[in-house]
Amino acid sequence: MHRSGLDNRVSAVLRAIIFDLDDTLVDQEGAARAAVVGWAAEHGISGPEVVARWEAVSGPYYQRYQRREISFQEQRRARAREFLGVDVGDAEADELFAGYLTRYEAQWVAFADAVPTLRRVREAGLRTIVLTNGEDAHQRLKLDLTGLAEHVDLHVSTSTLPVSKPDPQAYLLTCERAGIAPTQALMVGNSLAHDVLGPIEAGLDAVLLDRHDAHPAAAVRRIATLADLAW
């Protein structure tokens, strides 16, 4: 009985912090908004509704990709066709989306609190892990271009897993890859469902990064900036 209690205490020692990527470490929303305004204008589309229209088009198709209903490239083509209101083949849809993608990638930037926090985590003797819903090559490029890659010990994109967040298996498989128990990991991210409730269901601890005070009533650990992260 004494041995079992000891094992439980050891397994609960924090060994890693798992970060979401988009809108946690990288300002994805800001990049997308800036990119779509210029891209839309190039195609004769302007006005205050452009960003909201792009988000309304993009969201459902990206969710279908995350559910494995369509491929990463298919969701891109579908977004370009619907947003621009064109009926074109795959090659032309790819070319159209590339106009947005070039602008989007050029706008990628890490939040000012991202690198200092990753450094602080490592200085505390903990591993830095990124778990992101997305296509692996695309998300790795994002880490490289924003200068975050060198501060991350393990990167897991859900395109390399059988499921996406918030399926509990996404967090459990990430912990398995890291060689740690779920009780040894803390998940941090901006999505209540994907980065807090999902991890908690899987047995991890979790903190909600609520930069814009969108969840004031959420009964979870909540911080306004990564600089406030404690463990």
pLDDT tens string 11-40: 579 999 999 999 999 999 999 999 999 999
Q: Which pLDDT does position 6 carry in this prediction?
A: 35
146-164: average pLDDT: 98
More reliable by pLDDT, 10 or 30: 30
DSSP assignment of 88-156: --HHHHHHHHHHHHHHHHHT--B-TTHHHHHHHHHHTT-EEEEEESS-HHHHHHHHHHTT-GGG-SEEE
Give me the residue label for tokens 């692996």. Answer: 136
Whole-structure pTM value: 0.93
Query: Residue 130: beta bridge partners?
Result: 19, 155
Residue 12 confidence (pLDDT) = 73
Q: What percent of the chain has pLDDT over 90?
A: 95
Average pLDDT score over the chain? 95
Average pLDDT over residues 129-151: 98
The CATH number for 2-27+109-228, chosen from 3.40.50.620, 3.90.226.10, 3.40.50.2000, 3.40.50.1000, is 3.40.50.1000
pLDDT of residue 146: 98
Residue 7 has pLDDT above 70, yes or no: no
Q: Residues 101-123: pLDDT tens digits?
A: 999 999 999 999 999 999 999 99
| Alpha helix positions (H), the chain | 2-11, 28-42, 50-66, 72-84, 90-106, 114-123, 136-145, 168-178, 192, 198-202
In angstroms, rounded to a whole number, what is the distance separating the alpha carbons of residues 152 and 144? 10
Q: Quick count: other Cβ atoms within 10 Å of Cβ 213?
A: 8
Tens-place pLDDT, residues 59-106: 999 999 999 999 999 999 999 999 999 999 999 999 999 999 999 999
Per-domain boundaries in the chain: 2-27+109-228, 28-106
Whether a cis peptide bond, with omega within 30° of 0, leads into 166 is yes
pLDDT of residue 104: 98
